Structure 1
Amino acid sequence: MGAHREKRRIQPASVSWDGNAAKTGDDVTYRRGWIALLIFTVVIINYIDRIALSVAAKPIVAEYGFSPVQMGYLFSGFLWTYVVCLVPLGLLVERIGIKRMVGGGIAIWSTATALTAAASGFVSILAARLVMGASEATTFPACGGAIRQWFPERERGFVTTLFNGGSSAGPAVGAILTAALVSSFDWRTAFVVLGAIGFVWLIAWLIWYGTPEEARWLSEAERTKILTERDGTGVATTKSPPPSSLGYLLSQRSVWGLVLTQACLVYTAYLFLTWLPTYLQSTRELSTMNTGYLTAIPYLCTVMLGVTIARISDRVLSSKDVQAGRRRNFIAAMAILAMLILLAPHVDGLFQLLGVLTLVLTGATTGSGLNFTLASDLLRNPRDVSRVVAITSFGGNFFGLISPIITGYVVAGTGGYTWAFRIAAVLLFCGCLFTLSLTRRPIEPQHA
């Protein structure tokens, strides 16, 4: 990131974000909580824009007559460019900087979301989704670096899962908001409004974000706490070795463990993100508005459960456990929990079904969030975090890309969702094995 010029910043209110605040005075301020809030909400917006097409699918299909296979391609379209751009943009974070990377990304994808309203058919909708996907690829690598930069080691599990929890909160908010806009106006108006929301967030980001070293609104005590505890050493760290090369990182066994685990978890997460509204409509004969409400329930519950589980992992694991990568045990448990997806086709009651879907989503999304935290735990060079998060996201989102397409073909070929859920369960079991067997070694810097 290099040297930074001092900039005057608007100072956020000094509020307490956890139960430890105000016990000893100035040394326990938690103003870094504003950074956690910013990165949590950017992921919410990211996923609102992703799920919008799924919620608005019914009127779009009615207008254009798209088949399930065509909708599968549209649902996954943003992931094509997202996957292609993840690693290149992750490698650029160190050069361009977190602030500009995230800000530029949300400006472009919000514009693409709004322009979806001007689409005239399959090709133009797909084009808007492709642009959206490419620009959304900035979020996870850059924000992963921000978490490593801003938060002490023992807070990373909670903050990373909160950050990743935006991938559950976003669909929940997006399902209700998009359904309300479509029901009250039309699907085109919905996309314009959703695009505008991103620009409101961008203003806040440009005002408040900076590094801990340059943030004028931090107390000196909190700044010292961040710098001394973010690497688990008890010593202030402002310099690190140069980032490792892509080839070196790909030669590390633990990196492949992270990638393969993420792939297996994200397959299920994207099956739900893209097909859950359509699944509920087709199997329960729900209206667009009711589909929005019922899609939101599992996602909202998942946020609360996921944050609680992450908090427990931070509390239970000692610094030695974190450095040894024992967070993998929590990830394996989440993969097993998500295998309850096998029960979904056999549950008759709607609310019992929502309970099962909630547990499945909690396992898949919390597991993927903890997997990002595990990457940070295993890395000995903080400047490698953005790169490894990008590589891990690539693996996850490649499987996320094929998930809605495979599901579309399976639904079209079998007339139901049972085999789609069985495929997901097999991958979840594989993910459990990958995290337990392949993430046992720390990832040392290439350059000492």
Structure 2
Amino acid sequence: MPYRRAWIAVFLFSLAMINYMDRIALSIAAKPIAEEFNLSAVGMGYLFSSFIWSYALFLIPVGLLIDRYGAKRIGGIGILVWSAATALTGAAMSFASLLAARLVMGAGESVSNPVGAKVIREWIPSQERGTVTAVFNSGSYAGPAICSIVLAMLVASVGWRWSFVIAGGVGFVWLLAWYLFYGKPEEVKWLSDQERKTILDSRSGGGNAGGVAVAAYGLKRLLKTPTLWGLALTQGCNVYTQYLFLTWLPSYLQQERHLTLEKSGLVTAIPYAAAVVLCIALGKLSDWYLTRGGGVSSGKRRNVIAFAMVVASCILLVPFAGSTVTLVLISSLTLAGIASTTSLNFSLLNDLLPSAGDVGRAMAFVVVGGNLFGMAAPIVTGYVIEATGSYSWAFMIAGILLVAGAVIALTMTRKPMVPRAVESEPHLEMSPQKA
């Protein structure tokens, strides 16, 4: 992507990367934490899941705040809160204080995806949206890739407490850059007039004919469209596997595959790194596909989503992987598929959403849908391990959900998100309304 708007992609990539570094920090340190606090698999499952409880609870209110007060202000508050909570996790002296720190972290992290969607809608021309969304989402996989190696070494050398302090400190560096350099394209001084005009003239294209700006419908009206529900359910079927890997993969490698802490970090990192590259490649491919197949408002990006979810369903083969190399290959394909599905699903939301004023709230709803499934994944897995003594059925459940998600994407996301009552109305003047 040419010109200075590429810096927006860098901001978004690093935002997602830091977000997921902080999330996976607990998984990397799971073994010493479980030993210190005498936690069972079920207890760890609840602890792994805990940050998603507050994350999902705050998503829709945060989405509304972002639509009202802007991405810069609300995004900055969010990363301040979650970075501080991550650092303070290292001071936890009981299960209750661990749980409290994770809940506060989850509340802060609820800004990430709505901020990303809002920034992409404001800054990125519609024909580049799939690529930039893929860059943003690939940060979610770069974070674990880096963190799996670096934090594993830190946990082994200086202990799990300092690993959280260091992980939390990285967020404060990003926050400083965000406040110094970020703004809307209409406002920033570091953008040329020509590029500013390009962005403002071509950033709409969100499911409305001719790219004409329309008034925000509000969440209540959007909920009457099957497309929004289809996007949320697709996200849920996908995110279940994402959180299964994010929370339990290091423990699986250490307990069932008998790898050391350092080696499990490396084996975890490789699939996440592969997912970064493949996610961006598939996002670019989806943009190319749409420019030759009816444009973004056609909704044809759903076909690429279904393909990515079918690829990810190879997680069904994990119990049959006879070697570490085979396991890494299967894990790489699975993570690449779910990474691509997330970024493409977010892009499809922007493709089919007529009003830029609805982006924060619509994205929040879709992410809530995803995280209701994601919330269940660590807990269900804990009970499955306790009941069966292995991880096999945990992987089977995830694979079945991915296949179901592909079907939902193909059948429920076929129309722009226009409530029936206004489908026949002419384009409206832009006037923000509350949900």
Q: Same fold (TM over 0.5)?
A: yes
Distance of 1:174 and 1:362 partners within structure 2: 18
Q: Tell me the equivalent position of 1:109.
A: 82
Could you report, residue by residue, the CA deviation over 1:333-383 in whole angstroms, capped at 9, with x for unpaired residues? 011111101110101110111000010111112111100000000011111
Pick aligned residue for 1:405 from 376, 379, 384: 379
Q: Tell me the equivalent position of 1:179.
A: 152
Q: Tell me the equivalent position of 2:431.
A: none
Q: Where in structure 1 are there 5+ consecutive unaligned residues?
A: 1-17, 22-29
Q: Does 1:225 align with 2:198?
A: yes
Q: Does the 8 A contact of 2:145 with 2:273 survive in 1?
A: yes
1:243 positional shift: 2.3
Q: Tell me the equivalent position of 1:13.
A: none
Tell me the TM-score normalised to structure 1 length.
Answer: 0.91
Distance of 1:229 and 1:107 partners within structure 2: 33
Q: Tell me the equivalent position of 1:389.
A: 363
Q: Does the 8 A contact of 1:380 with 1:443 survive in 2?
A: yes
Q: Write out aligned runs for 1:419-434 (5 A).
A: 419-434=393-408
Q: Does the 8 A contact of 1:56 with 1:179 survive in 2?
A: yes
1:248 positional shift: 0.5
Q: Tell me the equivalent position of 2:432.
A: none
Tell me the TM-score normalised to structure 2 length.
Answer: 0.94
Q: Does 1:357 align with 2:331?
A: yes
Q: Write out aligned runs for 1:431-446 (5 A).
A: 431-444=405-418
Q: Does 1:294 align with 2:294?
A: no
Pick aligned residue for 1:128 from 83, 101, 108: 101
Letter paired with 2:134: T
Q: Does 1:416 align with 2:390?
A: yes
Distance of 1:212 and 1:64 partners within structure 2: 49
Distance change >3 Å, CA 283–CA 382, structure 1 → 2? same
Q: Tell me the equivalent position of 1:310.
A: 283
Q: Tell me the equivalent position of 1:70.
A: 43
Q: Does 1:189 align with 2:193?
A: no
Pick aligned residue for 1:84 from 57, 79, 88: 57
Q: Does 1:380 align with 2:373?
A: no
Q: Does the 8 A contact of 2:67 with 2:358 survive in 1?
A: no
1:178 positional shift: 1.2
Q: Does the 8 A contact of 1:340 with 1:356 survive in 2?
A: yes
Aligned residue pairs: how many?
418
1:239 positional shift: 9.0
1:238 positional shift: 11
Pick aligned residue for 1:246 from 197, 208, 219: 219
1:241 positional shift: 3.6
Q: Where in structure 2 are there 5+ consecutive unaligned residues?
A: 429-435
Q: Does the 8 A contact of 1:321 with 1:327 survive in 2?
A: no
1:61 positional shift: 1.5
Letter paired with 1:364: I
Distance change >3 Å, CA 238–CA 249, structure 1 → 2? closer
Could you report, residue by residue, the CA deviation over 1:99-136 in whole angstroms, capped at 9, with x for unpaired residues? 01111100010100011111112111010000000110
Give the superposed CA RMSD: 1.6
1:297 positional shift: 0.5
Distance of 2:204 and 2:219 partners within structure 1: 22
Q: Does the 8 A contact of 1:381 with 1:444 survive in 2?
A: no
Q: Tell me the equivalent position of 2:433.
A: none
SS in 2 for 1:118: coil
Distance of 2:155 and 2:362 partners within structure 1: 39
Distance of 1:281 and 1:437 partners within structure 2: 40
Distance of 1:243 and 1:143 partners within structure 2: 19
Distance of 2:418 and 2:90 partners within structure 1: 48
